[in-house]
Amino acid sequence: MKKIQMVDLKGQYEGIKTEVNEAIAEILDSSAFINGPHVQAFQNELQDYLGVKHVIPCANGTDALQICMMGLGLQPGDEVITADFTFAATVEVIGLLQLTPVLVDVEPDTFNIDVKAIEKAITPKTKAIVPVHLFGQCANMDEIMELAKKHDLYVIEDNAQAIGGSYFSKDGSKQKAGTIGNVGATSFFPSKNLGCYGDGGAIFTNDGDLAHIIRGIVNHGMYKRYYHDVVGVNSRLDSIQAAVLRAKLPKLDYYNQKRWEAASKYSQAFKGQEHIVVPKISCSCDSEKSVCDCHVFHQYTLKITNGKRDALVQHLNDNDVPCGVYYPVPLHKQKAYVDDRYNEDDFPVTNQLVNEVISLPMHTELDDEQIEYITSLVIDFVNK
């Protein structure tokens, strides 16, 4: 059996090696390192793939979120509601802009933001909601968009973990994750479903006026060289990263299909296990028999409900199986974001999840032998 990795980027690279190497050599020869032809081409190709009017590439996913908030004109003191159970970048940018983060609880099965908790947290100072499409599956965008419309709020989709995924609306329509709200942000960090070989990110919107503002912000506030119309930042996707992403984008649906297939095999192996809760798929797809893009499994995350999660992490590591705990500490308990406004009784789900979740290896190169080894180790340890 080949070595098990949490993410096998080298194995994935072998399938696109020639294309990537030739594109990078071309960029080195041309020296078009910033805003070169590959960046514009990738922008256009991603727009077509997502079915969105505007894609604005940028330097990383954290910048993408910050620039979305800057583009919408949010001001210090404005409240922004987001999930307590997610990576810190989501709330980090809120703090950097001197906005007021309002953290709320998540759903116990999808791990996505709880719409009822959002509604309860809305005040006259609330200006935006940031749903995080955690682990590869969209939050309940139908209800979030209805709530935003009712209260005249912006919706900024944090799509760092769900690129290529789709949301199936209750009216039967289907839209790509990140293209439903006022604006969406994603990351191309190497381990993402669509990852480059360094840092990278992008912003999506169907609003032409907002896109224009954002295009200025990412480039020092310039629309014309040395003329600064808005306060901006330096956040540009470089040409080499764009070339890598161009090689991967046509294969994204295939990559996500391979993740779905691996997730289905995991879930089938864990079926009927009393203390192991497999990921919930919120659309009507059959996770065991069909392939569907409503969940693209950036992570395959279990809940271990008998108190053995931490011991299981050690057991897997001892047997050369990497795993991850995403996330071990809720944002409302992080030193940087502690606030007297928060009541522990408002976070029962998050406070439980941090003690139960464990993410298993998930990538495009997983094979049946590896999955069988991993699942056997988990089942045997949890049940002993």
- pLDDT at position 329 is 98
- Strands of the chain, DSSP E: 54-58, 79-83, 100-104, 126-130, 154-158, 166-168, 174-176, 183-187, 201-205, 222-224, 227-228, 276-277, 300-304, 357-360
Given this model, what pLDDT does residue 292 score?
Answer: 84
- The low-confidence residues of the chain, meaning pLDDT below 70, are 285-290
Contact of 185 with 196, CB cutoff 8 Å = no
Q: Which residue has the tokens 């809940």?
A: 303
End-to-end CA distance of the chain: 25
Residue 374's alpha-carbon distances to 14, 317, 322, 361, 370, in angstroms, are 24, 11, 10, 9, 6
What pLDDT, on a 0 to 100 scale, did the predictor assign at position 283?
Answer: 81
pLDDT at 198: 97
Q: What is the pLDDT of residue 184?
A: 98
Residue type, 265: K
Tens-digit pLDDT profile for residues 205-240: 999 999 999 999 999 999 999 999 999 999 999 999
Strand pairing of 126-130 and 79-83?
Answer: parallel
Distance CA 220, CA 59 (A): 13
pLDDT at 215: 98
Distance of CA 46 to the CA centre of its chain: 16
Q: What pLDDT is stored for residue 290 in this prediction?
A: 65
